[in-house]
């Protein structure tokens, strides 16, 4: 069994707020269309939307 590489991203408070605002706008305005290619399942979009 192969081990998958892990990657991480650390954001400060300001950067995190900006990211969530962007994600919220993408979900509300475009129904997630701009980020659809990055998600595996539609449930991921709903989970992001629930983080309001």
pLDDT given for residue 19 in this prediction: 84
pLDDT given for residue 52 in this prediction: 58
The C-alpha atoms of residue 7 and residue 12 are separated, in whole angstroms, by 17
Cβ–Cβ < 8 Å for 27, 2: no
The C-alpha atoms of residue 35 and residue 32 are separated, in whole angstroms, by 6
pLDDT along the chain (52 residues), means of 10: 69 87 78 75 74 62
pTM of the model: 0.51
């Amino acid at each position: 069994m192969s081990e998958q590489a892990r990657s991480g991203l650390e954001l400060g408070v300001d950067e995190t707020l900006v990211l969530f605002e962007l994600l919220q706008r993408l979900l509300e305005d475009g129904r997630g269309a701009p980020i659809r290619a990055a998600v595996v399942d539609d449930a991921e979009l709903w989970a992001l939307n629930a983080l309001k």
